[in-house]
Amino acid sequence: VASRRAGIVGTGLIGGSIGLALRRAGWHVTGTDGDPARAARALEVGALDEVGTDPEAQITFVATPVRAVAGAAREALDLVAGHGGVVTDVGSVKASVVDAVDHPRFVGGHPMAGSEQEGVDGADPELFEGAVWVLTPTAGTDDAAFTLVRTVVSSLGADVVALSPEHHDALVAVVSHVPHLAAATLMGLADDRAVEHRALLRLAAGGFRDMTRIAAGHPGIWPDICAENRQAITDTLDGLLDALSRMRAVVAAGDREALLEVLERARAARTNLPARAVVPADLVELRIPVPDRPGVLAEVTTLAGQLAVNIADLEIAHSSEGQGGVLILLVEAADAERFRTGLAGRGYRSAARPLENP
Amino acid sequence: VASRRAGIVGTGLIGGSIGLALRRAGWHVTGTDGDPARAARALEVGALDEVGTDPEAQITFVATPVRAVAGAAREALDLVAGHGGVVTDVGSVKASVVDAVDHPRFVGGHPMAGSEQEGVDGADPELFEGAVWVLTPTAGTDDAAFTLVRTVVSSLGADVVALSPEHHDALVAVVSHVPHLAAATLMGLADDRAVEHRALLRLAAGGFRDMTRIAAGHPGIWPDICAENRQAITDTLDGLLDALSRMRAVVAAGDREALLEVLERARAARTNLPARAVVPADLVELRIPVPDRPGVLAEVTTLAGQLAVNIADLEIAHSSEGQGGVLILLVEAADAERFRTGLAGRGYRSAARPLENP
């Protein structure tokens, strides 16, 4: 078996966890960090085989702070693209990074996993098991580059969802960025009141603790995130401010029915929130003849992401005549018809075949 | 040992948990519920010795929905006060209830404990272990009634904090009521956006799940709570709206320093949030000569609550000459000077004696 080689730029919690997971799967991992002491520590804890750069790396993960991703990704591409290597990143904001890098062998990525730990000492090779990992291919992304990143990320146990960079940014503003800012705001409000009312924080029970837990995280990453995703975050904050004002009006008016309706809806939505670990359902194989032009794979996979269709596996069978090929996807049976309708709307024919659930 | 007798009105999750805990401690527990089937079920699961009312009950817990507390408490007082019994409740709002009942043998209460379970089948005798249980004595509260409720509630494992009813309501608006409404609002906002963006909820990771967990609770109790505590809730929602608007302005302006400052402060506050189980520290015994007039115990204990002074134990030694008495409190050594200063400000002299930590 030829050695598989990977690179990591930025050996913190996420970079370190990727290193541990890849090494456990037999990859040779080379990495660097802006702070040489952090790279040395990553070597020490077994997240790297060696400190440095590897021009032969088939895949390089850029896991620096968001602000530094584009520069680091371009440097990595200069090093590895000539040898066929691909580069991906793990930043929390995608559109600005993908625009700035703009290279067929770069695939934006964002694992939706974290930990209260910090740095490589908190790294965990199982951090990505069952977590959603967003990839953001575009019309300019090389198909082989995307499939390689997808395969490697899946092998770490993650559940890959492809989305356009802009769509990713709009969604994480709602489920990650604004919740974080709201948790910090709520904690700050309670802390303000606690100055006058010392007993206040003693009364903080489970619900309050749950709601403010993420506010205990390290603030260092947030100025970058807020700068790079400013528009989506302010839009979502406006939506939250509107919704809270409506809630205030309902309470002030003593409107019991309206209050119950809002709370019942929230309860139903929370109860239906998809669990982290999805039980594999019956799968359907879709075969989609695709033309041989760039962007097809990005279009099909981000359509699946947008429609919340889970792609369990993906393969491209190139036609022997060289005229396009066939894209073979495994999707959940419950999603298959919705997805086929969406595909038809974009001009893709598809053939479906149910698979036995193992 | 003479049998200790308790009554419970309302045998849901909280009433049932109190019943289980009291029976385990050897009490004879009699109870009713507006729904006879619920009372029968409480008997079946061992939360009651018998269904019905007990005029001999030394303590009766009213654990009905908030709206029904005042009426049920008055009924219970009619039954037991003539025999020296005391009545307390467990409702989430206190000022309106305490005003409406207005009886020296009624002590408002609120255990800050709950569960995602519902009804007596979710009852747990250990629900109150380490939880804060607020009591709201007033100038009209009988000292013996307050000390009895305090002793019984402490025996269930709870950490008693005395506060004035109004102070309680202002504080729970901040740490409980508004957080609940905010969680439901955030969940509703995400659910709105998920209509258009089906992938959205797949991206909801740990932080979002934590923040919205309480929104999965049963909405039925909230119209009452919002009606009874309307002023404090709308005030707190106004505070939250202001703080979120400031957060929005900081993000829109790209003001990195201001953002870091808000997040650093929230982080420090969250990290310092008192843990549920407080390790007993060195204790100091305070002896406070008190005049023989009503309201002294309420004044001293709610002052402690307000100053976040933990009263580990409390005893009243009546002077043999009948001229007032001595209030003996055990408080944490770290709090003793702060408390003594506060007491002096209200005209109470106190003598302090350090105790050995067992």
At B358 the pLDDT is: 42
Name the residue with tokens 């769509």. A167
Query: Is-contact B136 B165, C-beta < 8 A?
Result: yes
Spell out the residues 6+ positions from residue B156 whose beta carbon is closer than 8 angstroms to its own.
Answer: B18, B21, B22, B25, B128, B129, B133
Name the residue with tokens 């804890």. A45
- A269: chain B residues, CB-CB within 8 Å: 187-188, 190-191, 194, 201, 215
Nearest to B62 by CA among B112, B24, B20, B97: B97
Nearest to A329 by CA among A135, A274, A343: A343
Query: Is-contact B147 B40, C-beta < 8 A?
Result: no
pTM over 0.90: no
DSSP labels for B91-118? -S--HHHHHHH--TTEEEEEE----S--
Query: Is-contact A211 B210, C-beta < 8 A?
Result: yes
Rounded Cα distance between B128 and B118, Å, is 16
Cβ contact (<8 Å) for A113 and B205? yes
Nearest to A6 by CA among A19, A14, A42, A124: A19
At B216 the pLDDT is: 86
- A216: chain B residues, CB-CB within 8 Å: 267, 270-271
At B2 the pLDDT is: 57
Q: Between A208, A217, A264, which is nearest B179 by CB? A: A208
Q: Between B187, B214, B220, which is nearest A269 by CB? A: B187
At A261 the pLDDT is: 96
The residue of chain B nearest to residue A259, with distances taken between CA atoms, is B223
- Residues of chain B predicted below pLDDT 50: 1, 277, 357-358
When computed from its CA atoms, the radius of gyration of chain B, rounded to whole angstroms, is 22
At A61 the pLDDT is: 98
Rounded Cα distance between B36 and B33, Å, is 6
Joined together, the tokens standing for residue A221 give: 């990453």
Cβ contact (<8 Å) for A200 and B259? no
Beta strands, E only, chain A: 5-9, 28-32, 50-51, 59-62, 86-89, 106-111, 132-136, 159-162, 283-290, 311-318, 325-332, 351-354
Q: Which residue of A244, A335, A338 to mutate against B (max B Cβ within 10 Å)?
A: A244
Per-residue pLDDT of chain A (358 residues; tens, 9 = 90+): 457 999 999 999 999 999 999 999 999 999 999 999 999 999 999 999 999 999 999 999 999 999 999 999 999 999 999 999 999 999 999 999 999 999 999 999 999 887 667 789 989 999 998 889 999 999 999 999 999 999 999 999 998 999 999 999 999 999 999 999 999 999 999 999 888 777 888 888 778 988 998 898 889 889 999 999 999 999 999 999 999 999 999 999 999 999 999 999 999 998 888 765 455 567 888 988 888 777 888 899 999 988 888 888 888 776 555 567 888 888 888 889 999 999 999 999 988 887 754 4
Give 3-state DSSP helix, strand, coil % of chain A, rounded to 5: 50, 20, 30
ipTM associated with this complex: 0.82
- B212: chain A residues, CB-CB within 8 Å: 266, 270, 273
Name the residue with tokens 């009713």. B32
Q: Between B192, B210, B236, which is nearest A214 by CB? A: B210
Outline where B197-290 has alpha helix (H).
206-212, 222-228, 230-253, 256-271
CA angle (B86, B87, B92) in 5-degree steps: 150
At A116 the pLDDT is: 63
Q: Between B190, B260, B264, which is nearest A175 by CB? A: B190
As a dihedral over the C-alpha atoms of residue B243, residue B248, residue B253, residue B255, rounded to 10 degrees, the angle is: 50
Nearest to B222 by CA among A258, A206, A246: A258
At B330 the pLDDT is: 86
Joined together, the tokens standing for residue A316 give: 């491209």
At A1 the pLDDT is: 44
Nearest to B20 by CA among B134, B132, B121: B121
At A357 the pLDDT is: 45
DSSP labels for A213-269? GGGGS-GGGHHHHHHHTHHHHHHHHHHHHHHHHHHHHHHHHT-HHHHHHHHHHHHHH
What is the sign, positive or negative, of the torsion defined by CA atoms of B344, B348, B354, B355?
Answer: negative
What residues are paired with A286 via a beta bridge? A329, A352
At A297 the pLDDT is: 87
Give 3-state DSSP helix, strand, coil % of chain B, rounded to 5: 50, 20, 30
CA distance A119 to chain B (A): 18
pLDDT in tens, B289-312: 888 777 888 899 999 988 888 888
At B1 the pLDDT is: 44
At B280 the pLDDT is: 57
